Amino acid sequence: MRKIKVVFLTFYFEAWDALAETHRIMSGDPRFEVTVVAVDRRLTGDEGYGGVADVSAFFDSHGIKHLVNADLTALEPDYIFVNYPWQRNYAPQYRPDKLAAIGRIVYVPYYSLPLVAEPVDGVHPESGFEAIGAHLYTQRMHQLASLVFVQDKFLKDAYGQLPRGNDHVHFVGSTKLDALIEEVEEIAESGKLAVRALTTLVWAPHHSYSPHWLNFGVFASVCHEVLDWAAAHPAVQVTLRPHPFLFGTLVDREVMAAADLDDWLARWRALPNTSIDSESSSAMIFAQADALLTDGISYLAEWPMAMGKPALFIENPGHWMFSPLGELAEAAAVKVEGVGELEGLLESTPSRAAEISALRDAAMPFAGEAAERIVAAVVADFAGPDGKGSGSALIDPAAITDLPWELQAGREPLRD
């Protein structure tokens, strides 16, 4: 058989860890011809498409050769790996209908685990919840993917309820968790961690502030209280780890005025024991910390499985319900009723050993093997029914007529 041409299409480099090990394996495998393509993006609050220089700089820093805003048609890929489904953030030439006409889309989720259920109508939480959020498997990128890899058997079952079925969906576990745990262990074994003079608390706020979407974020309601707490506890180093969308969403959704946010950030940066770290990997953030405070979502599960101790969960009581895996993550956390509790919890955090073990069993059925299973599935798909490299058929966008999640009423409109 000829080499399998694979393109990794990336603008969400903040979640490259979802693809990194698969890319590493394929790049060293003579059966594959691998190309990485960095592209512009438009996130919440952005006026236009841009940012590819940051994506490119990220790949340069990791020694990964790549193209910038390349013409995928000219590359003739057999498979196009993506880790991000929301098509509104892609430039038009990289949206799923365009990709499916060029090659087979392979979707590996950018998040570690599907932790949140979804209101039945997507708008009014009081109407009831689906156990698995529809946005996790019914967007256009999901519909047109030739191969999908999921971290949860419940999500695979959800795909099975759709007209297309789930023969193309593979339950492999979480590539992100595999990568996170491996990196944390490598950091610990390397001896590179500096001796900390202060107790280090990582504060990781989420970007969602409305019942219309997730509603986990409490930054706007607690940020001044956390600032005052940090000022009153100089023996604690507080590292703010903002979600990549946090600051843009706060302003774009009019949760905070830009001037008020800028003022808060200036005061935060002025304290000797506070900082902002948007650049380090999650593993490095974790390895340097004694505790984690978060309002959700992914770190609620990632921290206990990587560190073996519970996250401190400051909960928005109006957040969307947890999925079955989310309930396990919630049980593995320690709830914080108010910022004033932090001092006592840092001195003595309750154990959640049994709950963390249950979460790990459910979330990592093939611990350390997810990327290898992805590679094997791509090889099998490319071999085709005859085993000679005929490959699976391309998905015909015209044949998938169900209205995708993001185009339903009440969703954010596509803007070109």
- Contact, 236 vs 346, CB < 8 A? yes
Domain regions of the chain by residue span: 4-174+366-407, 195-363
- Contact, 255 vs 249, CB < 8 A? yes
Q: Are the folds of 4-174+366-407 and 195-363 the same?
A: yes
Rounded Cα distance between 114 and 323, Å, is 7
E strands, 199-263, are 199-204, 236-240
Stretch 300-312: mean pLDDT: 97
- Contact, 81 vs 9, CB < 8 A? yes
pLDDT at 211: 83
> What does DSSP assign to residue 200?
E
Q: What is the pLDDT of residues 91-106, one digit of tens each?
A: 999 999 999 999 999 9
Q: What is the pLDDT of residues 185-210, one digit of tens each?
A: 999 888 766 666 689 999 999 999 88
**CATH number corresponding to 4-174+366-407:** 3.40.50
- Contact, 170 vs 150, CB < 8 A? yes
CATH superfamily, domain at 195-363 = Glycogen Phosphorylase B; (3.40.50.2000)
pLDDT at 194: 63
pLDDT at 196: 67
State CA 176 to chain mean position distance: 8
Burial 167-176 (b: 16+ CB within 10 A, else e): ebbbbbbbbb
Q: 298: buried, middle or exposed (CB in 10 Å: 19+, 13-18, 0-12)?
A: buried
Q: What is the pLDDT of residues 51-85, one digit of tens each?
A: 999 999 999 999 999 999 999 999 999 999 999 99
